Structure formats: structure tokens, C-alpha cells
A and B are shown apart, each in its own frame.
Chain A
Amino acid sequence: MTRKTAALLLFAAFALLPMIASALNDHYLVVIATRILGFAIAALALDLILGYGGMVSFGHAAYIGIGAYSVAILGRAGITDLGAHLLAAIAAAALFALVTGAISLRTRGIYFIMITLAFAQMAFFFFVSLSAYGGDDGVTLRARSTLMGQPLLEDDRALYFATLAILIGLYLLAVAITRSRFGRVLTGARENPVRMQAVGFSPFRYQLTAFVISGAMASVAGVMLANQTGFVSPAFMNWHVSGELVVMVVLGGTGNLLGAVAGATIALMLEEGLGMLTEHWPLFFGLMLVIVVLVSRDGISGLFRRDRG
């Protein structure tokens, strides 16, 4: 199966899901699926730098949080338009990614993992101490974002399709990026930064640009997730969320953009499924994670390895 057919099948399944939900009379399915799509956007963003650039960011939850707070802060100021929310989120996330990325990219390996984690914690504590927006407790949104002044997204299905449309758009954008000259330089810098430098490219600039694009993309996930939950709190940027994003990407197979979408779907369905069986689902989720890493020599992606490209 080519990647194109796989993508068509996966997105077609997502497009048909609301119909299946209404046939089953299970409205909650659409709500869960919207959450899945939101996280799929963030996982896609992470895979762009993790899979193609070799940059293991352990702080991508920060960008989800920045996107979510853009909705809350602009909403309170009376600006409710989705376009404005997206623009603000992208601008703020790009700025945060530019500054923290420039510092983080001075380092490699474990240092990079830990520094991205530390910067995300910094953002986390910033919003925890922001008492005007509920601090630790967060804020409830008054309403969802509007489209052209109309409350079109108040309908759960409309929000679902809007999120799906954004995911597909960003997926196509990400595919285009990885296939471009820029994407190839990025992959080259992952494989051998010294050689890339010798050929005349500055790996740092390419990596930083990719980091900024990825952060901006992940903030879009935050905007949609805030709309889905109707609630924004620092929990969006808890380091656990960053960890789960890495799990999703690796679960689907790194360096395979569609895999990120599939990984997010599998991980969240597992969480939901285990959550229905027991309130102690993290114990079993963690157990599975450890076992899969131990059993598969190539990590989780080895179990699900697909053709790259």
C-alpha cells in the first residue's frame, strides 16, 4: 500500500466517523475523535522535527498550551474569531520556539531532550502563576471560537470537521516540507551535520526553522483542543503531555508523518479503552510501554515498521 492510499483511507475513515457515531447513537465518539485529531496535529508537528530532523523535543506540550491560552486570553478580551486565535497562537508559539530553539540547538543528545523539557516547564510555571487566568485551576471558556462572526463551531460535529480539515491541511503541508529541498537538508543535517556544513549548508538555520515551524503547528493543536474541552489550564503543558506526544510519534513510527496521526489515534484509543476498564489505566499503559520497548529491539516503531518515504 502506498503512503498516498494509506493516507486516503485513514482520512476517509475519520471523515465517515460522525456518521458511524450517529448510527450507533454514540455522540461521545465524536468528542473523543476530536481530541484524537487535536493530538494528531501536535504529534504530526513533533514528527516533523523528531523523525526528519532527529530533534527529540520533550517539551512540545508547551506549544499546545500556548495555543490553548491564546483562545482563553483573546476570548476574554472579546476577540472570538478562530482565525485571530490561530494567528495569535502561531505568532506566540513561533516566537517561543525561536528563542528556546536557538538556545536548545546549541546542544545535542540528552542535553537537547532535557533543555526542551526545562523550557516547557518554564512555560508551565509561567501559566501556573498567572492568577488573572485562574493560575493552577485554569479558566473555563465562555464560548467556542467563532467563524466569520458566527458561532458555527458550537456544534460538536462542526468542530470535528474543522479540526479534521486543519489536520489534513497541515499533513499536506508537512509532506510538502519534507519533500522540498529544505526537508532534504534537514534530514541530511540529522544524518551528518558536519558533512552538511562541508557542502555549504548551515544545519543550525535549517534546524531552527524546522523547530519554529513545528512549534507553530503544535500551537494549532492547542487552539482546537481548547475549543474541544471548553477549558484551558496549565495541565495542557504538563510534561506528561510532552511524553505522551513522543509516545504517539514513536508508536506510529518516526519519520513517517502519517504514522504520527496513526500513533495518536492508537495511543488515545488505548487510553480511552483502558480508562473504561479501570481508573488506574496509567499503570497498564505504562506497563505496555515498558514491555513493548523491551521486547522490540528497534523500540516501539520496530513493531509497527512501515515503508518510509
Chain B
Amino acid sequence: MTSLFLLQFLNGVQFGILLFLIAAGLTLVFGIMDFVNLAHGVIYMVGAYLVVSFTQMTGSFALGLLLTLPATLLIGLVLELLVFRRLYDRPHLDQVLATFGLVMIISEAVEIIWGAAPLSVAMPDALSGSIPLIGQMRYPVFRLAVIGAGLATALGLYLIIGHTRIGMRLRAGATNRAMVAALGVDIRRLFTVIFAFGAMLAGFAGAMVAPILTVDPGMGESVLILAFVVIVIGGIGSVRGAFAGALLVGIVDTLGRSFGPILLRLVMEPAAAGQAGRVLAPMLVYILMAVILVLRPAGLFGQKT
């Protein structure tokens, strides 16, 4: 039971790390440009599809991953220059509509290029198999690699945001965009960089899960909504909040699914507990979000509403 708990806890952390990679770019775009980007989830999906194709072309997952990163960066850049750039000063409603249109375009384009059937990519040999953690318990190497890569990214972001000049501008931009612009920072160029970088992080997340999940046209949507939940919980514009929110959502979601029915069995009939657990588990993170918002309307680390 303890080792099962630890196992599921690690799965939760791994899922949380993944959500963080997606939410980090999204929250900066929200925080700095006050921009609603519904198309962020489809870039995660495109990252997964690209890694499948690039891996088939090169015969190596590592090379595939290496090619996916600049490719999604480029996609982010093109989207920013063609569409997003023109929408900063518009009402949220316009941004929602335009990015909703982008979701339709990109989803359909992915179906045209790769077909509607789910795809998969083989686990790289070096990262397949599992290693012993404690006693009898073993854990898949690849999932540990995902956790490691995500933590390294988080650390890198922490250093960039907390200890570099561009990070300083970023933090200042998230707090007061007009003031930073008045001080002579080219906030638009800063945003272009952040947007492309955020797209790359989402593409990276998509590429990393491709070997453990199936790659299908719907995969971007569920993750997008969860990334929103993460950002709302963490507070818009805060990368630290996104990290805390992502881990919280990942762990609560995973543990809720595996242990919810077990806990409910303590107070209910087994059959009813099973059914109630299945119904309640997917709703758990939304309930969590509601509770946090009642207590803190701007999220855990948020400043503005």
C-alpha cells in the first residue's frame, strides 16, 4: 500500500511536471500581454506529432526530440508574427475568437497530415525498462527522465527569471506592462521571444509524453483546460505559481483517481464507492480550483484579478 502510494505519487509528480511545461509559457503570455491563447494546447499536440515523424525519419528518439524543439519554436514565431501580434490591444473576446479559430485550423491540419487514427512512437532503448527505488518497488526510467527534464527546465526558468536582465524585464512586464514600456523596453519584441519560447516548452512537453501516451488529435484539448486550471490556481503571470499549481493538480488528479474509490469504500458500499469514485475523480481538480478561488480569488501567487 505504501509503495503503491509512492508509485502513484511519482506518477502525479510526473503529470504535474508535464502540466508545468505547458502552463509556464501560457502564464507568461497571460501575465505580460494579458492575452488569452486557446491555441496553446494544439502546439503541445503538434509537438507530439512532430516527434513521431522526426523519430521515424531519423530512427532515433533523441534526434527526433532535438528537431522538434526548433520546429515548435518556429511555429510559435510564425503564429506570433502572423496573428497574435495584431491582437494585443484587442478585447479578450477577440483573442478568444481568433485563437479558437486557430485551434480549428491546426487540429484539422494535423488530421489532414497525420490522419485521425492514434499514432505511437517507440520508447528509446536507453530509457526503457525500470529501476528499483525502494525495496520491491520499481519505477520506469522514462517517467523519471520526464521528471528530471521538467525539473531541469523549471530550474533553468527560475535562474533566467530570477537572475538575468531579460528575467527582470519579464517580471516587471508581468507586474506593470505600461511602466516597463515607458522605461524604454521593447515589450513587443520581449513578448515575441516569450511566446516562441512558450510554444517550444509546450512542444517539448508533447514530445516527452509521446512514448508513454498515444498521440491523437484530441490530446491538446484536455491538457489545455488543465493548464488553465493550473494557472488560475497558481495566479496569472506567476511561473512559481504555475509550478506549485501544476504539481498540486498533477498529484491531486492522479491520487484522486487511484485512491478516491479506496477512501470512499471506508464510508460506502464497495460498488457505490467504485461508481462514485469514477464520477468524482475527474472533477476533483475543478473542485480544488473552486475551493482555492473562494479563499484567494487571484490564485495562490497571483497579484491582480
Contact = CB atoms under 8 A, between A and B. Distances in A.
A293 interface: yes
A264 B117 CA distance: 31
Interface string A2-43: 000000000000000000000000000000000000000000
A294 B83 contact: yes
Contacts of A250: 93, 97
Contacts, number: 131
B272 to A, nearest CB: 12
Given A113-B36, A280-B108, A299-B94, A247 B100 contact: yes
B250 to A, nearest CB: 16
Q: Is the interface of A mostly helix, strand, loop or mixed?
A: helix
A293 B104 CA distance: 15
Interface range on chain A (Cβ under 8 Å from partner): 35 or more
| Most chain B CB atoms below 10 A, which of A128, A286, A289 | A286
B70 to A, nearest CB: 25
Contacts of A56: 92-93, 96
B297 interface: yes
Contacts of A110: 30, 34, 36, 92, 236
Contacts of A243: 38, 96, 100, 103
A53 B35 CA distance: 21
Given A107-B305, A111-B236, A283 B91 contact: no
A35 B93 CA distance: 25
Contact of B86 (A106, A107, A294): A294
Interface residues on B, range: 35 or more
B163 interface: no
B7 interface: no
A309 interface: no
A293 B293 contact: no
A287 interface: yes
B84 to A, nearest CB: 10
Given A119-B286, A282-B104, A299-B90, A114 B97 contact: no
A289 B38 CA distance: 14
Nearest to B90: A299
B225 A289 contact: no
B231 interface: yes
Interface string B36-48: 1010000000000
B297 A107 contact: yes
Interface in A283-309: 283, 285-290, 293-294, 299-300
B228 A117 contact: yes
A252 B232 CA distance: 31
Interface in B254-305: 275, 278-279, 281-283, 286-287, 289-290, 293-294, 297-298, 305
A106 B293 contact: yes
Interface in B80-109: 83, 86-87, 90-94, 96-98, 100-105, 107-109
Interface in B99-153: 100-105, 107-109, 111-112
